[in-house]
Amino acid sequence: MSRPRSETFGLGATASLVASETRQIVLDRLETVERTTTHDLGQHLMAVEREVDRNDLGDVDGPRPTTVALHHHHLPRLDEHDIIEYDSSEHEVEIGPNFDDVTSIVGRLERADSQ
């Protein structure tokens, strides 16, 4: 799934892409695991949003709204900019060629915001 880096990101482009709390949580998760599935990301998002442990979520059959939103909106947008690589047919997600550039900018923005 590896592709060459396609562009350099500035603050404006990065801010637009990570304005969504959902995409911020996806990037945070990928900083930890580097490769995952849409199901795992959906579970992680719900746990973070509900402020509960993933084990406390229980099992639900069928696609959840969070996973559907990831599949149709958030992951394709990040993939389009090579921040992640998303294989929608296999439901696999991994960091992309521009991942480090974007997360570096986000880290600088977070540090500046906390000062």
Please write the tens of the pLDDT for every residue from 33-81: 999 999 899 988 888 888 888 777 766 554 578 889 999 999 999 999 9
Please write the tens of the pLDDT for every residue from 79-114: 999 999 999 999 999 999 999 988 888 777 777 777
- Asked if residue 3 lies in contact with residue 96, where contact means CB atoms within 8 angstroms, the answer is yes
Q: CA 39 to CA 20: how far, in whole Å?
A: 19
Whole-model pTM: value is: 0.80
**CA 103 vs CA 8, 24, 60: distances in Å:** 12, 9, 32
Reference 44, options 53, 35, 61; nearest CA is 53
DSSP 85: E
Q: CA 48 to CA 55: how far, in whole Å?
A: 12
- CATH of range 11-110; options 1.25.40, 1.10.10, 3.30.450, 3.30.70: 1.10.10
